[in-house]
Amino acid sequence: MKIASFNVNSIKARLTNLTDWLKEAEPDIVCLQELKCIDENFPHGPIEELGYNVAVNGQKTYNGVAILSKHPLEDVSRGLPGNDGDDHARYIEAVVSANGSVVRVASIYLPNGNPVDTDKFTYKLGWMDRLIDHARELLSYEEPLVLAGDYNVIPTIDDVHNPAAWVNDALFRPETRAKFRELINLGLTDAFRACHREAHRYTFWDYQAGAWAKDNGIRIDHLLLSPQAADLLKASDIDRAVRGREKPSDHVPIWVELDLG
């Protein structure tokens, strides 16, 4: 089973890019982020025509996440537990049954957190605490679990072109990286790093300052696996070429293959 994550940076603006990639890559499950639309405006038709079931947690203009699956989506839940007053559409979770196996998948759009001297950074760290608490609960189910999405976290200096330029950015702050390690240390596996040791493989290139042409990127999109999923890990990679297409997202898809039969 191929499970992917893709921050599309506006589903309306990137629909052709998305459907072209879906046809080429043929993922079984896709976690989307930054839809920038309400549920009713999600383009169900073109995606369902490709054989996908769709679950959406949308929001006008900002945020928005979705799960696409070639298999039925069950037990869909929207929103990250722990703060009933948080109305940001940043989390959706579902269970997928296929070939006699079950996998739980979440699509995550973790807050950016900049500027770091504002409440936005406090919100980011608090959101990460909630994610850690929820992941701990999900891991107690002892089932294949994939937490996929745009984490807005640069884990190490190997995941950024120019570390010095990001020292004071919320994506690379010590507090952010420490929370990410705390999440990983619950028993999760970074699928890409389990398959690739080489430095400077990225999932995001800014639109500004010729970042794409210079390969001035960062790796902030991650697929984290429970031990039960990690045992099934076959491959993981980044579809870098998608960034070079017309009117691309500033992110590219990242995916994992699990041997679910």
pLDDT of 31-55, one tens digit each? 999 999 999 999 999 999 999 999 9
pLDDT at 99: 82
pLDDT exceeds cutoff 80 at 261: no
pLDDT at 97: 93
CATH number at residue 134: 3.60.10.10
CA distances from 192 to 62, 69, 151, 253, 255 (A): 28, 21, 14, 12, 8
**Range 161-189 average pLDDT:** 98
The answer to whether the beta carbons of residues 103 and 96 sit under 8 Å apart is yes
The answer to whether the beta carbons of residues 178 and 130 sit under 8 Å apart is no
H-run or E-run covering 181: helix 174-184
34 is known to lie in a ligand binding site: yes
Confidence of residue 222 (pLDDT cuts 50, 70, 90): very high
pTM of the model: 0.97
Look at residues 76, 150, 145 and name the one whose alpha carbon lies nearest to residue 109: 150
Q: Which domain holds residue 83?
A: 2-258
Look at residues 238, 244, 242 and name the one whose alpha carbon lies nearest to residue 256: 238
pLDDT exceeds cutoff 90 at 134: yes
Domain count for the chain, please give it.
1
Percent share of the chain, pLDDT over 70: 100
41 is known to lie in a ligand binding site: no
pLDDT, one tens digit per residue, over 73-129 is: 999 999 999 998 999 999 999 999 988 899 999 999 999 999 999 999 999 999 999
The answer to whether the beta carbons of residues 251 and 203 sit under 8 Å apart is yes
pLDDT at 149: 98
**Range 186-202 average pLDDT:** 98
Residues in the chain, total: 261
**Range 242-252 average pLDDT:** 97
Which residues are catalytically annotated?
109, 150, 251
pLDDT at 16: 97
84 is known to lie in a ligand binding site: no
CA distance 59 to 76: 17
pLDDT at 100: 87
**Around Cβ 21, how many Cβ atoms within 10 Å?**
22
57 is known to lie in a ligand binding site: no
9 is known to lie in a ligand binding site: no
